[in-house]
Structure 1
Amino acid sequence: MKVNKLNIVIVLGLIAIIGILVAQLLWTRQAYTLEEKKFSQKAHIALLEVAKKLYEGVNNELPSENPVQKISNDYYIVNVNNDFEPEILEYYLKTEFEKINITTDFEYAMYNCQSDEMVYGNYISLSSKSKTKQSVYFPKHKNLVYYFAIRFPNETSYLFSSMKFWFVLSFALIVILLVYVYSIFTLLQQKKYSELQRDFINNMTHEFKTPLSSILIASNYLVKQEQVKTDEKLEKYAQIIISQSNKLNNHIEKILNIAKSDNSPLALDKRPTNVVSVIRGVIENVLLKYPQSNVQIDNHSRDYYIEADEFHFTNLVYNLIDNSVKYCEGRPEIMIRMSEEGQTLKIECIDNGIGISRKDISFIFDKFYRIPSTKSNEVNGFGLGLYYVKKICNLHHWKINARNNPDKGITITLLIPKK
């Protein structure tokens, strides 16, 4: 059901973005058409003003019909029943185009009734990009005696340049669509890999638990036999089997719990919890397991209370201290320091371990991540301890970070809002 909902959301989002993109392209096309009409109107007005100026100072009157005719998108002819000089025409064209803000290049030619052909063509560059002369050819038109023709060779590029905003917006929408498609593809791939990983972990751990249970049952039965009890070596070996089997069973349970919590969120039972009491209880258990360790609390004999799930908070503290003991080459010296910063309780776990390289310290809370080192190869584990710690912090909305100490070891800091 969840997959179907996800697919529906993906399809609807894709349809919406494609619809917006199609609408944007249609608007861009409409905007180009409007710009083309606007340019044509401006050209008509300018050429009509030129025709009026050519009639000034002569007895002939401007004809009632519009002398300006648009032959094609970029080609215009102006019928003027009056003789005029090319220099004057060019001056009027430049002046009127400048007034009406037509800044693209143009070329013009005049009809010579004596030679019955278009003569005196010239290319006028209004931009600083091209100043070279170009050849000009205009076809002759019937039933016209005194007229001139105008062509705008760069009209299309000129119109496109005036629509930069529309093209930038269209390009941005295309990029958004591509990013959306790529993100969805990546999301589905990650979801697929996550499901495969979770299924593999569940199958692997369940397959391990069956023979492990048999080993534990057989080992517990074996250690009770009289032959084993009377033989010191056999009893020692049997206890090693039981101890290591229990350790492996704990690892499998931890993997199963992590996989279960990834599939469905953990339900927290938050209650007022005495932080110092929990940490002292954890330290007692750690010292039973690692009697050579030195773990102390520095809190100035104060009690702090927070809203937390006591079970998971206890496991969190145990994982932090247990990691500090494991990754220490000499005698473990661990200090749990607590202090208040406004309405926040700050808990620091400071050790004298081997430390972590700067490039690896940001990955220590990732699932299955283990820092490649000689000590890591000696310590058994799956890289789930600190991942579990980070997950519990996120569920409680706490902050956690790690940093290297100036001399030796690392400090893991926990920031907990007080209530």
Structure 2
Amino acid sequence: MKANKLNSIIVLGLVATIGILIVQLLWTKEAFNLEEKKFSQKVHVALLEVVKKLYQGTNRDIPADNPVRKISNDYYVANVENDFSPDVLQHYLNEEFTKSAINTDYEYAMYNCQSDEMVYGKYISTNSNTPVDEQINFPKHKNLVYYFAIRFPNETSYLLNSLRFWLFLSIALIIILLVYVYSIYTIIQQKKYSELQRDFINNMTHEFKTPLSSILLASNYLSKQNCITEDEKLNNYTQIIINQSKKLNSHIEKILNIAKSDDSILSLEKKEISVIPILNEVIENMKLKHPTLAVTLNHGKEHTILADEFHFTNIVYNIIDNSVKYCNDTPEVTISINEEKNNLKLNFSDNGIGVSENNIAHLFDKFYRENNKKSNEINGFGLGLFYVKKICTQHHWKIFAANNPNKGLLISILIPKN
């Protein structure tokens, strides 16, 4: 995917997510306003019913003007124009608020004609465990004689509680937006890492190719000299140098190509191959390279598999070479072949340093090298076992790694029978 297209998708996704979040917040705000209006209407109707009941049993009529007024968001005043008892007022308030489903704390006060001030009544809590707040002075209003005031100290929290679903959606969208931003940040970081990795691979390709070409030219020239051709032993060593240089050159091409992309697919030339001869050939070459290496091959009858001979050889070579590299003692490798139901199982066990249990899951990751003293001493790029895993995956084989009970590493390859 081109960079411009990816950037456009990222920007559009971010704008869309922010837009949805803004719309959700606006809807939540509108829902809160509607709840507040609905609550105000219920309080107004309930207080109007209280005023009507306070006039019951008297010869006076209710004032023509609306006796209930909203002074602020949580403060209401009801004009009675008739003397009333505080106990009767509280009884009517509880009754009407219950009937109107107004289930929140409130406090009330009444105007005292003799002292010309508002007298605090009582704090009524819907929860008996809620502590009573300190008394609050209610403001006095002009031109009113017999009236009472109501305050709802928890109105805002009461309304927000009724909007739990809307608030949950808003919080969920905020979390989604944060996750989206974090994901975009991670993608950008991974993109930078991939570009750096690609540049590194391109540079290494050139660095490997140059000395290998020089080795091949020198080896070919050396093989034509009379002193070499006349000495069978020297001629044999020269041919080994040429063959291994060509093989190494081919390895570099294959491994670097597969390392350029996790999604790259290699062209496999599958055919029926015998397992034992290939293992013996790799073991012989590895012993030439590492004279102290001891390899034990345990097998019964001859086994054949459907595989790419070149890549299967590389798999065995990489696993054994890895065992030799990460061994502090004389390297010992045991290769065993077993039949398990419809599968052929190849086990490669060594006496190396093994891998810590926390990091063994990353053993086949590209460029992964465990941070230890041995890794620091060995030159490498962490591509060997990644290549092994890649080839096994393309053959539809399964590969596992585990530490031996006593010492070393065990790598198992499960190959379906033909």
Provide TM-score, normalisation by structure 1: 0.82
Q: What secondary structure sits across from 1:290 in the alignment? A: helix
In the TM superposition, residue 5 of structure 1 has moved relative to its aligned partner by 2.6
User: 2: CA distance between counterparts of 1:133 and 1:56?
Assistant: 33
Q: How far off is 1:338 after superposition?
A: 2.9
User: One-letter code of the match for 2:138?
Assistant: Y
| 1:98-109 to 2 correspondences below 5 Å | 98-109=98-109
Letter in 2 for 1:370: R
Deviation at 1:80, TM superposition (A): 2.0
Q: Give deviations 1:87-127, integer Å, cap 9, x for gaps.
A: 22123223332443434332323234566x44222341414
Give the percent of matched residue pairs that are identical in Structure 1 and Structure 2. Answer: 60
CA deviation profile, 1:316-344 (whole Å, cap 9, x unmatched):
23322443355453352412333335x66
Correspondence 1:363 to 2:366: no
> C-alpha distance in 2, partners of 1:197/1:51?
81
Measured in 2, the distance between the counterparts of 1:391 and 1:404 equals 21
Query: Are the equivalent residues in 2 in contact too, given 1:400–1:415 (CA < 8 A)?
Result: yes
Aligned pairs for 1:215-254 (under 5 A) are 215-222=215-222, 224-226=224-226, 249=249, 252-253=252-253
Structure 2 Cα separation of the partners of residues 252 and 288 of structure 1: 18
Gaps of 5+ in 2: none
Which residue of structure 2 aligns with residue 137 of structure 1?
138
Deviation digits for residues 196-250 of structure 1, max 9, x if unmatched?
2211221232144234413431343245445778999999998998699668646
* Residue in structure 2 matched with residue 283 of structure 1 by the alignment: 280
Deviation at 1:84, TM superposition (A): 0.5
Alpha-carbon offset, residue 149 of structure 1 = 1.9
Q: Which has the higher mean CA deviation after the structures are superposed, 157-166 or 177-186? A: 157-166
Match of 1:28 in 2: 28
Aligned equivalents of 1:239, 1:267: Cα separation in 2: 29
**Match for residue 407 of structure 2?**
408
Tell me the residue number matched to 2:265.
266
Deviates more, 1:71-80 or 1:27-36: 71-80
Q: What does the per-residue CA deviation read over 1:13-46, in whole Å, with 9 as the maximum and x for residues that have no partner?
A: 2122112211210121112112212211221232
Shift of 1:66: 4.4
Deviation at 1:192, TM superposition (A): 1.4
State the match for 1:319 in structure 2: 318
State whether residues 123 and 135 of structure 1, in contact with CA within 8 Å, keep that contact through their aligned partners in structure 2: no
The residue identity in structure 1 corresponding to 2:280 is I
What is the rounded CA distance, in whole Å, between the counterparts of 2:84 and 2:190 in structure 1?
77
Unaligned runs of 5+ in 1: none
The 3 A distance-change label for structure 1 pair 122 and 347 is: farther
Aligned to 1:12: 12
CA distance in 1, matches of 2:36, 2:343: 65
Distance change (3 Å), C-alpha of 1:346 and 1:118: farther
Opposite residue 30 of structure 1, the aligned amino acid is: E
Letter in 2 for 1:129: T
Do the aligned partners of 2:108 and 2:120 also contact (CA within 8 Å) in 1?
yes
Instruction: Specify whether residues 309 and 55 from structure 1 end up closer, same or farther in structure 2 by C-alpha distance, changes over 3 A only.
Output: farther
TM-fit CA distance, 1:85: 1.1
Aligned partner letter, 2:391: I
- Tell me the CA shift for residue 376 of structure 1: 4.9
Aligned-pair distance for 1:54?
Answer: 1.4
Q: Decide whether the 8 Å contact of 1:123 with 1:133 is kept in 2.
A: no
Distance 1:64 1:95 in 2: 24
1:14-413 alignment, distance < 5 Å: 14-62=14-62, 66-113=66-113, 117-126=116-125, 127=127, 128-142=129-143, 144-222=144-222, 224-226=224-226, 249=249, 252-253=252-253, 255-262=255-262, 265-269=264-268, 271=270, 273=272, 277-278=274-275, 280-290=277-287, 293-298=294-299, 300-301=300-301, 303=303, 305=305, 309-328=308-327, 329-330=329-330, 332-341=332-341, 346-371=345-370, 376=375, 381-413=380-412
For the 8 Å contact 2:258–2:264, the answer to whether it is kept is no
Instruction: Say if 1:349 and 1:413, in contact at 8 Å, map to a contact too.
Output: yes
* One-letter amino acid of the counterpart of residue 407, structure 1: N
* 1:71–1:77 contact (8 Å) kept in structure 2: yes
For residues 358 and 367 of structure 1, the distance between their equivalents in structure 2, rounded to whole angstroms, comes to 18
Q: Report if the CA contact (8 A) 1:202-1:259 is conserved.
A: no
Give the SS at the match of 2:323. Answer: helix
> Secondary structure of the equivalent of 2:60?
coil
CA–CA separation in structure 2 for the residues paired with 1:314 and 1:168? 58
Greater mean deviation of Cα atoms: 393-402 or 72-81? 393-402
Contact 2:365–2:386 at 8 Å: present in 1 too? yes
CA contact (8 A) 2:86 2:121 kept: no
